[in-house]
Each structure stands twice: as C-alpha cells, then as structure tokens.
Amino acid sequence: MKNIFLLLSLILICLQTNAQQNNSFACGLENFIAAARDKDPDYDKKMVEQEKLRSQWKNKDHKTTANVLTIPVVVHVVWNTITDSISVAQVASQIAVLNTDYMRLNADTSNTPSAFLPISANPKIQFCLAQTDPQGNPTNGITYKKTAKTSFAIVSGDTSIWHTVKGGYDGWDPSNYLNIWVADFGPLGGAGFWPGAVFAGHRQGVIVNHTFFGTTGSAIAPYNLGRTATHEIGHFLDLHHLWGDGGNNSSCTATDFCGDTPTQVAASQNCPTFPKTDACTNSAPGLNFMNFMDYPQDACRNMFTVDQVARMRACLEGGPRSSLLTSTVCSIASGVNEKLKTNTISIFPNPASHTIHVANISELSNIKLYDALGKIALELKAEQDLSIDVSSLAKGIYTLAIENKTGNVFRKVILAK
C-alpha cells in the first residue's frame, strides 16, 4: 500500500478561485487532515483499517454486477437571495447529468481517447429524487430553506450548513438518502465525504455550490455541465483523486487505490491536450485527465475506469453505502390522501422508442422533458392522460418533470432506439 498518509484525508474539496476569470481549481485538503488528527489520535490507525475493509469489499464476487443500482437523492437548497434559490429545473438538470454520467450514456464519451477506451467503464448507477420524506409524507425530493447567512465558509470550519438551528438544514437519514446541500459556499465548488466513522451522521453526503450545480439557472461556465456533482458523488462512493489526496505527488508514490489509473503528480487544470504527460507518467498515452475524478473543466471530463467502478459498486454492494440499495423512498408514500393517490403519475412503456404514455394526470400540469444536459427537449401542458411522441429525440436518459398546484413529480425516462 503506497503512502498511507493519503488515507488521512477526510473530505475532498474542490475550490474554484474565480468561476468567471481564473477557471482553475485548488485543493484546501491539509486543513481538514490536521483538524481530524487533532480530534482523534487514533485516526491514522482507523483509516488504515478502513482501507483493508475496502479491499475486501472490492475483491468480493459481486453477483449483481449486471444490475443497475439506484440511489435515492434529496437536494437541500439553502438560500439567501433569489439567485441561490435555484429552480426545480436546475435540480432536474443535475439529476439528468448524473443519470447519464453514471450510465456512461453521456454524449461526450466520444471524446475518450482510444487508448483509454479499454479501461473506461459503466458504473450502472442511477439516481432518483426521493418521493417520500423521513416522516412518510410525499415529497418531490427537494427542500428549500431561507437563511440569513450570505454564504457558508466551509473551508474556514463553518459547519452550519448541516444544522437547521444554525442557518443550514438538517440532513435526512443518510442510510436512506444521499443528501446533497446546494448553497452559496463562496469560492468552494463542492465537497464529497467518504464513508466512515469520522464523518458519520450529518456530513454523510455531498455539498455543491449553486454556481456549479446543474446545467442551467445560476450555474456558471466552464463548470456548468453538472460534473462537480458527478465528481463529489464519486468521493461519496469511496473514490480518491487520481494523484492521491495530498495536493502534490512529486514523489510519484501516492495512490488512488485503483490500479488502472496512471500515476500523476498533481491535478489537471483547464482542458489539457491529449496526450498529457508529467514526471510520474512521462510517455503516451499519458494521464487520464478526462477522468471524472480529476479537475479539468466540465467539458473535458467524461469517464470512470474499470477499477473505479469496482470500488464504487463494492461501496454499495455490501459496503458502507449498502443501505441505500434497500431504501424505498423513491416510491410514492403510502397512506397519503386520496387526491395525491389519484395524482400518482405512471409512465409507460419505459424504456420507450417512439411514444410514452403518461397516466393519472387529473389537473392542469406543466410537463417538461429534460435531456442529459438539462435542456428542455419537449414542453407542453395537459390536464388528463396523454401520449407523447418522442420518435424525433435521440436515445438516452431523460427526466420528465410534471408540475401542478399539488406539487412536482420527477420520473426517469429511457429512450432506446
């Protein structure tokens, strides 16, 4: 095992110095390492033991490898101004990106260099906005909380985002939901939290700055294609940065614990030209900078590797995130009033090729179909069951959003041509 020191990093923070000018990231990891070690003198030992367990999970024979694994999501929007009170459409655009990136259905897979195609892999992981809250009531999987705080200085030790009484929002049960907090985090792009005892409880989730979230609304180029959440959820599912997590790997001894990712000195920035080499990997094909766990701009990241996929699936299949697979919160709550039962939306066939039928619409509703980039592919109004012609749309994963005075409903739709 190379450089056990890397195991000391608790959370993986992506900082953008200026979203509109510098277009680059820097890592503020060492502050969190020091804080963790100060609080827990046995932390080094605990992290070594946890990595041993991770190796056992990864080496198991996962008989459900061919199955698509589904993770329930709740998005907590904590806002101070209209700008950071992001829309339902912006949330839907992010879920759409996750559902293509984690199924390797993203259109930019064509940009993966041929030299890396043999190690590119499909995680077969999907994300659904929760339909039931912790009290068993219906939800659209999005919460909104107005706060007096203008921003949350996470890198300075401000933990209030995770506490309602401090101006943030309490997370929902992490054994049933992937909690994603979206707010103004100043220069912080996002943070993903590894599984483990040190960050048990409220921090077992992901935070993303609203300017990095989704593909529309307040998202700012060149990080407006939803890849920050893709990256941070990779951390949530136990992935490391490609250069390790110490900021600089000049000794070329650090590891991401994945044998198929080339060793590299430091994070890649902007949009490198292929092949990119450095002191650790000095010959073609060079670095796997188009990997979601590196730092290029959103348009320049498009893949996970075979070993990364094995690690994420091990985290879910028998590993520390396994409870998410048995969660039932993506199902409509039972015992709700009859009106809501009547409005339970049904979509068929799904997957579809030419036509999708939407049933149980009982009141005037706005219906939008979002593509993988969060763009509206179709938009219409209806107040009763209808059929939608999708024959002109490209194959892929879409998100159907239905909004009416009762609430909002989101459904994943797969078009298979």
CB atoms within 10 A of CB 175: 12
- Would you say 286 and 117 are in contact if contact means Cβ atoms under 8 Å apart? no
Burial (CB < 10 A; 0-12, 13-18, 19+), residue 5, is: middle
Nearest C-alpha neighbor of 235 from the set 295, 152, 175: 295
Burial (CB < 10 A; 0-12, 13-18, 19+), residue 416, is: exposed
Nearest C-alpha neighbor of 258 from the set 321, 196, 315, 296: 315
Helix/strand/coil (H, E, C) string of 7-44? HHCCEEEEEECCCCCCCCEECCCHHHHHHHHHHCCCHH
Mind telling me the catalytic residues? 232
| Positive or negative: CA dihedral 172, 178, 182, 185 | positive
- Would you say 295 and 267 are in contact if contact means Cβ atoms under 8 Å apart? yes
What is the spatial distance between Cα 375 and Cα 216, in angstroms, rounded to a whole number? 8
